[in-house]
Amino acid sequence: MSRVVILDEIKGRPIAALLVDGVLEDVAIDPEGDAPLVGAIYRAVADRPMKGQGGMFVRLPEGSGFLRQTAGIAPGQRLLVQITGPADAGKAFPVTTRLLFKSRYAIVTPEAPGLNISRRIRDEDLRSALDALARGGMAGADESLGLILRSACDGAEAGEIAEDIAAMRTMAQAVLADIEGSPELLVEGAGAHETAWRDWADPAPDEVIEGGLAEHSVLEMLDSLLALRVDLGEGNSGGHMMLEPTRALVAVDVNTGNDTSPAASLKVNIAAARALPRQLRLRGLGGQVVVDFAPMPKRDRAVLEQVIRAAFKFEAEVNLAGWTTLGLYEFTRKRDRIPLRDLLAGAI
């Protein structure tokens, strides 16, 4: 499996693309202007509670955030918050008080103590070595600080891992102590190029190329993601799905195309279920998702559900709600990035 990371610019904004065997697997693009990036940490001031919405607004330097964890927080109180996703036009940024200090190999977790190693690392000797690095790196730290060693540690140099642990621990301690004062940005969120370096390291890319969007046909791949129609492979006789985001939800309609055989519906539905996580991730779509799968016997739902669960196994913060009485399939996916259509408006 070939993994290539491309670092480039599009209309003067950084962009990173991950290609796996020549297919676009993920993309990150910096937004226009000075909008906060996901992961940015702020000193904020608690504002007014919104009892009907189960949260409260907090004041940020660039506007306001909306916080759902409000227990024990009083208006006027200083607190540290982290941006968890983009904001719709005119709305507050979603924020959390559960901070994460992320790097390539380590994540420091305030108020979540404990030393943890990614379950994807199974070699016992390596786990023992990483445990020793974790204990050494966090020795003497506040007991409220936790540490997660990421799967990218597999194959990394011990010195690099130790440096990452020390850097994240130092940053966390400095930020947690900087609570007094007016609203202020304390830690920048990760831009496109940093995201590629930090989050696409497992497995390590075979090649990192600076420039090369056009040479690797990335612009054409991005352009295809702006279309509503997604073809589901040559073996599906025109089978396709339509992904249409609305203000309330993302509607997905799966069609069998020209295949009228008894097995056509289940076949195209399985193809759609496997393609859906990647399509939603690349398009930056989240929130409530409603899928109208091609008509099929109810006895086939159990098979399709197994495929859906396997397809979304490694997708972050997805809640598979299941079937409605009308035969639609519902789930939610965290809004973790700006929709690709908005990022690319006028860019390609």
The CATH number of whichever domain residue 65 belongs to comes to 2.40.50.140
**Residue 243 and residue 333 in one domain:** yes
Determine the pLDDT at residue 331: 97
**Residue 239 and residue 325 in one domain:** yes
**Residue 123 and residue 176 in one domain:** yes
Residue 216 located in a structural domain: no
Q: Which amino acid is at 287?
A: G
Gap between the Cα atoms of 243 and 225, Å rounded: 10
Gap between the Cα atoms of 117 and 105, Å rounded: 10
Determine the pLDDT at residue 89: 74
**Residue 233 and residue 304 in one domain:** yes
Using an 8 Å Cβ cutoff, are 135 and 115 in contact? yes
Matching residue, tokens 């390596």 = 126
CATH of the domain at 139: 3.30.230
Determine the pLDDT at residue 234: 63
pTM for the full predicted model: 0.88
Q: Which domain holds residue 84?
A: 41-96
Which segments in the chain show pLDDT lower than 70? 52, 234-236, 346-348
**Residue 182 and residue 108 in one domain:** yes
**Residue 243 and residue 310 in one domain:** yes
Question: Measured between alpha carbons, how far is residue 224 from residues 17, 133, 219, 348 in Å?
Answer: 15, 45, 9, 11
Residue 239 located in a structural domain: yes
Query: Contacts for 244-249 with beta carbons within 8 Å, 24 or more apart?
Result: 245/283, 245/285, 245/339, 245/341, 248/288, 249/287, 249/288, 249/289, 249/290
Determine the pLDDT at residue 348: 63
**Residue 240 and residue 323 in one domain:** yes
**Residue 337 and residue 253 in one domain:** yes
**Residue 47 and residue 82 in one domain:** yes
Residue 348 located in a structural domain: no
Q: Which amino acid is at 297?
A: P
Determine the pLDDT at residue 236: 61
**Residue 165 and residue 244 in one domain:** no
Per the structure, the count of domains in the chain is 3
**Residue 243 and residue 330 in one domain:** yes
Determine the pLDDT at residue 320: 97
